[in-house]
Amino acid sequence: MSQTSDMVHPAMRRLHWPGVRSVYGQLLALSLLLVVVPGVVFAWVALGNARSALEQAVGRQLAEVAQDAAEHVETELSRAETLLRGWARRLPRSALAAHDVGELGRTLTSLQREDASVRSVAIVDLQGRELAHGTQRPRLAAASGSWREAVARGETVLVALPTDPSEAVFAIATPIADDAGRGLAGVLIAEYPWDPIDGTLQHAQHDLAVLGLAVSILVLDRSGRVVGDGAWQEPLGLTGRDLVGDGWTAPALAIEKARASYVRETAADALVGYASVEPSRLGLVALAVQPIADAVEPVRRLQRRLASALAVVLIAGLALAALLAARIGRPIRELTAATRELARTGTTSHRVVTSSHDEIGELARSFNRMAADLTRARDDLLAASRMALLGELAAGMAHEIRTPLGIVRSSAQLLGRRIGDGDARNSEMIDMIVSEADRLDRVVGGLLEIARPHEPVLESVRLGPVLARAVDLLATQAEERGITLRRPLGPDRPAQCDPEQIYQVALNLLMNALQNVPRGGTVDVRTIAYDGRVGFEVADDGPGIPRDIQESIFTPFFTRRPGGTGLGLALVQRIVATHHGSVSVASEVGHGATFRVELPAAEAMP
């Protein structure tokens, strides 16, 4: 097992799905949740609303189609009714009164020749007995007698005929008034084929099909039986079918309601528009039928498009989330690595770099500031430790060296007075002993000053006068060396400091600059102020300080100047540290050096 894992390429080990516990994985999971859940909810609501709205729109359209079909049927029936009423008025009343079958038959035959659309015509009495017929006997023997009461009231009605799917016909009965106009001489019944009506419905269905609507238009009688349809592509085989018996509710609703509407027929899984045919006494109903699958096909297409769009959005969202997670995760990983390094070594080898201005960027910047503060605090702690050790050494030296050193100096001076000025070589050696004893005393004093500085007496002080005082003191010395000492002081905000100790810092920095700048050089003194810090800079155009020794120049005894003690800059750093400030140097070889002292700003003075 270990051998196999060792054979895996290191790059492949990094290619793993991030755990949900990681920020990267949580961002991806959150993005997936934010994309999928709203997308699915939106699609579900949108598709549901779209389906409902589409069903309503299709239903209203089907109701309009059914209304148009009912008006077409009404037109055909009105034409047939008008024709039949006219024939009833033209029948010879004398032949009716005498029951002259021959004359009545000839009259009916003559009338039938005037309109070839009439299949058969006959005269019957109110009991349904035939008195005479035209060229063809109608199917009245089995005809229902429910039309008699309506005819007796003087109405023209539709007569129910025996069901015969092979023959699509309908019959109309109209009363024949007697000579006096007060009674009925008989009933005139005519059969008409459904072909003209079916042709009209067929054209309507064809026009709808051209528009992309597969709609079936049916005509039903009062009982719910299909008496006509407009199938134009292939026979539907619905003629004679009892739709009410099949569970359809549209026929009853069409008769019950006065206006066209629509209903969803669960029994047929279809949307059905319905409208009654006027006159309503005929009891005919026009239906426009479209299967639900065809009606909602646009919604299904929309559903497929939404699914594709959701997939695209999901992929794009995950890709964007991955980029965002990587962008957010990178500084977090860098912060984690830098934190571990800081905990392990006490410092960091690099800054956490981020270009964002959000909370992550602020966290990175805060970490960098914290790391810099910790590094500075560590350096200060190390410096304090060194100073503490130096203080102990200095205290020991002051006790062990100064007393013998004083004896040596006094003895050398006494010896010089005894020898007198006669021996120049001896006098020179005695002067050297005294001079070196004084230098050693100054070194010990400097060590004591660094190791055990005086506690600063802090007050609100403007640095301008303090720096001007130091510049004035050294102006003559600078002039003697041919060095220009300038003071473009700049902003002068008050600092919280001990003015005498800061004066000593300024003197040391100015003396250091004057000792390193060649004749003809320039030294500038200027104040600074920013972000709650104030201070000053001492800049010169001397030879500069190499980068490899810039961090060592504040170390005690480090000096490049012959005869120097290397304690001046160490004392500067010590005094500034006791003020909770900082001192730094910026320099390039051949371009001079700038020493920068930063101190805490005091509250604004009135």
Residue 530 DSSP SS3: strand
Fold of 456-600: Heat Shock Protein 90 (3.30.565)
Match 């905990």 to its residue by tokens: 343
CA distance 385 to 474: 34
Whether 55 contacts 63, CB under 8 Å: no
Query: Per-residue pLDDT for 360 more than 80?
Result: no
Q: Superfamily for 51-295?
A: PAS domain (3.30.450.20)
Contacts from 84-90 at CB under 8 Å and sequence distance 24+? 84/156, 84/172, 84/174, 84/188, 84/190, 85/156, 85/174, 87/111, 87/121, 87/188, 87/190, 88/174, 88/175, 88/176, 88/177, 88/188, 89/177
pLDDT digits (tens, 9 = 90+) for 377-434: 777 677 666 666 666 666 666 656 666 777 777 777 777 777 766 566 777 777 777 7
Strands 522-530 and 484-486 turn out to be parallel
* Predicted local confidence at residue 156, as pLDDT: 77
Query: Per-residue pLDDT for 536 more than 90?
Result: yes
Query: Per-residue pLDDT for 13 more than 50?
Result: no
Written as six digits, the tokens of 326 are 């990587």
CA distance 2 to 264: 68
* Predicted local confidence at residue 497, as pLDDT: 92
Exposure string (b/e) for 562-600, b if CB count within 10 Å is 16 or more?
eeebbbbbbbbbbbbbbbebbbebebeeeebbbbbbbbe
pLDDT digits (tens, 9 = 90+) for 109-138: 888 888 878 888 888 877 778 888 888 777
pLDDT range class, residue 524, cuts 50, 70, 90: very high
* Predicted local confidence at residue 115, as pLDDT: 83
pTM, two decimal places:
0.46
Average pLDDT, the chain: 76
Written as six digits, the tokens of 588 are 């390039």
Which of 8, 541, 19 is CA-nearest to residue 325?
A: 19
Query: Per-residue pLDDT for 166 more than 80?
Result: no
pLDDT range class, residue 237, cuts 50, 70, 90: low
Which of 267, 272, 268 is CA-nearest to residue 250?
A: 272
Return the percentage of the chain with pLDDT > 70, whole number: 72
CA distance 321 to 328: 10
Query: Per-residue pLDDT for 8 more than 90?
Result: no
Query: Per-residue pLDDT for 507 more than 50?
Result: yes
Domain map (residue ranges) of the chain: 51-295, 456-600
User: Cα-Cα-Cα-Cα dihedral of 238, 240, 244, 248, to 10°?
Assistant: 10
119 phi/psi in degrees, rounded to 5:
-75, -45
Of the ranges 80-84, 423-427, 444-448, which one carries the lowest mean pLDDT score?
A: 444-448
